[in-house]
């Protein structure tokens, strides 16, 4: 099974930030990633999940129950 990974360049383009910012976020642990052969890689699904977690002003979750 082969996993697909994004490079720092691809993540920087997706987030519209510099490569330096992505690298800093990876080193600090703010952004999930892997160091493979001396280069950072990020799984697309993990990046999308991280982006979703960063949302501000989220709509409140629908509350269940009787009215």
Q: What is the pLDDT of residue 62?
A: 57
What is the structure's pLDDT at 64?
59
The pLDDT value given to residue 65: 55
For residue range 15-67, list pLDDT tens digits in order: 999 999 999 999 999 999 999 999 999 999 999 999 999 988 766 665 555 65
pTM for this one?
0.77
Let me know the angle formed at the C-alpha of 49 by 13 and 57, rounded to the nearest 5 degrees.
Answer: 90
At residue 55, the pLDDT reads 86
- Residues near 47 by beta carbon (within 8 Å), at least 6 away in sequence: 6, 11, 14, 31, 32
**What does the block give as tokens for 58?**
């989220």
């Amino acid at each position: 099974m082969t996993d697909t990974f994004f490079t720092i360049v691809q993540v920087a383009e997706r987030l519209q930030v510099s490569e330096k910012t992505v690298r800093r976020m990876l080193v600090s642990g703010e952004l999930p990633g892997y160091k493979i052969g001396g280069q950072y890689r990020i799984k697309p699904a993990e990046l999308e999940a991280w982006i979703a977690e960063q949302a501000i002003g989220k709509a409140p979750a629908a509350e269940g129950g009787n009215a």
